[in-house]
Amino acid sequence: MKLLIIFPSEIRSGAEEYALTIGKAGINQGWEVNAAFPQTEKTISLIKDFQEIGVTYHPLDIAPVDGKRLKLFREHIPHCYRTFSLLEKVKPDVVHLTVPWPFWCFDTLVTCAVLNIPTVVVFQLFPGYYHYSKLRLKAYQWAYNRKQKWIAISNNNRHFISESFKIPQEELSVIYNGAKPSSEFLNYSPEDTVNLRHQVGQEIGICPNDIILLTVGRLHSQKGYQDLVEVISPIIQEFSHAKFVWVGEGDK
């Protein structure tokens, strides 16, 4: 079997790590795996990691598009053509399309439908209800019925996808994103865990009796950090020993 993984990201973040995990799983199953996404300064390390596990990389210069206006000749036709050329070159049995934002990947999704290639579409971030024009909505619904399986990463995610695309919730599958624990921690005893917690606490200035509220993720406004900021004060007033710990990288 030949798998083609496609995503439009110009950075390396959670959705891209998810695609890498799918690539590893395909290789482990004996599949021939290809990956296509933009080559930028921030995806160079991702390209290297794909190639190191045996995945063939293909540059796909389709930058994210907001999709709010139908820019037929300037964006959609060139993007469809690039996707078509890639699909004709690779000839995959299955396409795995990662959609990091609601309006992205429209051209690739539709092109896969035109060629009637079995396609798994995973909506990694769908934070609310989105309005699509009648024409675009019909195109999405038509593509959905052309050997496509749409995946949500949470029940809340599935609700918004269903409402936005007018597709019954029960037809959308939910597969949560997971994180594989490091093998070095799997055999830790309860005592080892307590000692490690104490060691980390000392490094970042947390006392043993403190209540730790941990957030792990890219430091970006889309992750909802502003909502956390607004609840810090009332939580501290109620729980004086609470400490907020944020782990991640970013500009915010």
- DSSP for the chain reads -EEEEE---SS-SHHHHHHHHHHHHHHHTT-EEEEEE---TTTHHHHHHHHHTTPEEEE--------SS--IIIIIHHHHHHHHHHHHHH--SEEEEEESSTTTTHHHHHHHHHTT--EEEEE----S-----HHHHHHHHHHHTTTEEEEESSHHHHHHHHHHHT--GGGSEE-----PPPHHHHT--HHHHHHHHHHHHHHHT--TTPEEEEEES-BSGGGTHHHHHHHHHHHHHH-TTEEEEEE--B--
Backbone angles phi, psi at 18, to 5 degrees: -60, -45
On whether both 188 and 164 belong to a single domain, the answer is no
pLDDT of residue 109: 96
Q: Out of 140, 174, 208, pick the residue that ends a domain.
A: 174
pLDDT, tens digit, for every residue of 181-192? 777 777 788 888
CATH number of the domain that residue 79 is part of:
3.40.50.2000
On whether both 170 and 202 belong to a single domain, the answer is no
Higher pLDDT: 5 or 211? It is 5
Whether 37 is in a domain gets the answer yes
On whether both 71 and 161 belong to a single domain, the answer is yes
Q: Out of 174, 198, 227, pick the residue that ends a domain.
A: 174
Whether 85 is in a domain gets the answer yes
pLDDT, tens digit, for every residue of 50-67? 999 999 999 998 866 665
pLDDT of residue 185: 72
Whether 252 is in a domain gets the answer no
Whether 126 is in a domain gets the answer yes
Least confident of 26-35, 40-49, 211-220: 211-220
Whether 179 is in a domain gets the answer no
On whether both 165 and 209 belong to a single domain, the answer is no
On whether both 116 and 226 belong to a single domain, the answer is no
Least confident of 68-82, 169-183, 194-208, 211-225: 68-82
On whether both 13 and 115 belong to a single domain, the answer is yes
pLDDT, tens digit, for every residue of 84-104? 999 999 999 999 999 988 889
Residue 243 pLDDT > 70: yes
Residue 196 pLDDT > 80: yes
Q: Domain count of the chain? A: 2
pTM of the model: 0.81
pLDDT of residue 154: 94
Q: Which residue range(s) make up the domain with 238? A: 184-247
Residue 42 pLDDT > 80: yes
On whether both 164 and 42 belong to a single domain, the answer is yes
pLDDT, tens digit, for every residue of 145-161? 999 999 999 999 999 99
On whether both 132 and 151 belong to a single domain, the answer is yes
On whether both 188 and 140 belong to a single domain, the answer is no
Higher pLDDT: 252 or 201? It is 201
On whether both 215 and 103 belong to a single domain, the answer is no
Q: Out of 122, 145, 174, pick the residue that ends a domain.
A: 174
Higher pLDDT: 25 or 61? It is 25
On whether both 55 and 158 belong to a single domain, the answer is yes
